Amino acid sequence: MDINGVRRILNEKDNFTILTHISPDGDTLGCGFALCRFLRSMGKKANVINGDKVPHRYEFLCEGYYPQEFEEECVVAVDIADAKLMGDALKRYQEPGAVDLCIDHHISNTGYAKETLLDPTAGAAAMIMYEILSGMGEITKEVAACLYTGISTDTGCFRFENTDSRAHMYAANLIETGIDFYTINRKMFELKSRNVAAAERAIVSQMKFYLNDKVAVNVISLDTLKKYGVELAELEGIPSVALTIEGVAAGVTVKEKAKGTYKISVRTTDELNASRICSDFGGGGHIRAAGCEIKGELCDVIDKVVAKISEYI
């Protein structure tokens, strides 16, 4: 489906349920609340539903939001590549035919929705949402803040290779509405509690280097989380730390999910393909950031990942 098709649906229908993905990030929530606010300003009814709670840092996106009552007429999924990513709480929307429209930028989109607007060249789904909405009416400051958040988070504040001139052009237009992008970016990329900062330092001070210092590994144990009183989700800055060290081509973060079960996150520079490394363990993701799960003793798990990386280095 193309942009005009999406605009037609948004114009024709009146009562929308908007779905965002679990472990919500700035792009899915930015898209969801931008669309919801825009539809409501058109006099339509719309709700945003997520299987997880909105994390603290993203709460400003739903400021003034309240759930509305209506008979669902159109279900729109934003930034959701796979119906499974709606999570167990939204199982009913995982049924075939439950989602009317999907707006996404993941090349891996499974095509679960009746209609899909997919633009894998967009660094953020919020860029596609900007294109849709800016052709339908005025982008208010509130909507602009949501869209900017999506673009900024998914492009790493215009640093990642997925940033293109479109991302900058849309940002230029969005900040013209007077949004407080300084505070948005501080919330997205900088602000952390003293506990989180202390936990990060403790973890990174134990960083281990392998393969001539080309690989750096950070371990987040359940004990560390407990000691500093922080949640795993609060330590999302850790995976990017290893790649800030000169000479490191692969940064591995080993997160203890439960005793003997580890979630592995791999970040790479252009020397290595993170997705390929993780897919050998049944995981996957992007070229520069991917993940997988491995069971076993911590030292064996690290050995396995490092050995796998050594095959590709």
**Of the residues 2, 63, 69, 246, which one makes contact with a second copy according to CB under 8 A:** 246
* Least distance CB 260 / a second copy (angstroms): 30
Query: What's the CA gap between 177 and 112, in Å, rounded?
Result: 35
Tell me the closest approach of the beta carbon of residue 177 to a second copy, in angstroms. 10
- 285 three-class SS: strand
| Cβ proximity to a second copy, 25 vs 234, nearer residue | 234
Least separation in angstroms between residue 268's CB and a second copy is 13
Q: Is residue 159 close enough to count as binding a second copy by CB under 8 A?
A: yes
Nearer CB in complex with a second copy: 70/160: 160
Strand-pairing partners, residue 48, are 18
**Cβ-based nearer residue to a second copy, 181 or 262:** 181
Contact with a second copy (CB under 8 A) among 166, 263, 276, 304: 166
Figure out which of the listed residues 96, 97, 172, 259 binds a second copy, where binding follows CB under 8 A.
Answer: 172
For residue 152, the minimal CB distance to a second copy (Å) is: 8
Distance in Å, CB of 243 to a second copy, minimum: 7
CB of 18 to a second copy, least distance (A): 27
Of residues 188 through 227, those in contact with a second copy by CB under 8 A are 189-194, 197, 201, 204-205, 209, 213
Q: Is the dihedral of CA 298, 270, 210, 236 positive or negative?
A: negative
Residue holding tokens 């640093």?
159
Q: 215 CB contacts (<8 Å, ≥6 apart)?
A: 209, 248, 249, 250, 251, 252, 306, 309, 313
Among 163, 218, 265, 268, binds a second copy (CB under 8 A): 163
Residue the block writes with tokens 């989180």? 196
Q: Is 258 helix (H, G, I), strand (E, B) or coil?
A: strand
Q: Which residue from 89, 107, 169, 287 is in contact with a second copy, where contact means CB under 8 A?
A: 169
Please answer whether residues 30 and 144 qualify as being in contact, where contact means their C-beta atoms are separated by less than 8 angstroms.
Answer: no
CA atoms within 13 A on the CB side of 266: 35
Residues 29, 54 contacting (CB under 8 angstroms): yes
Host H or E run for residue 204: helix 194-204
CB of 180 to a second copy, least distance (A): 9
CB of 118 or CB of 274, closer to a second copy: 274
CA torsion angle for 302, 303, 307, 310 (degrees, to 10)?
60
Residue from 8, 91, 141, 168 that binds a second copy (CB under 8 A)? 168
Burial 81-92 (b: 16+ CB within 10 A, else e): bbbebbbeebee
Candidate residues 3, 62, 157, 232; the one interacting with a second copy per rule CB under 8 A: 157
Q: Cα–Cα distance between 114 and 98 in angstroms, integer?
A: 8
Stretch that binds a second copy, among 23-31, 122-130, 240-248, 273-281 (CB under 8 A): 240-248
Positions that interact with a second copy (CB under 8 A): 157-161, 163-169, 171-173, 175-176, 181-182, 185-186, 189-194, 197, 201, 204-205, 209, 213, 243-246
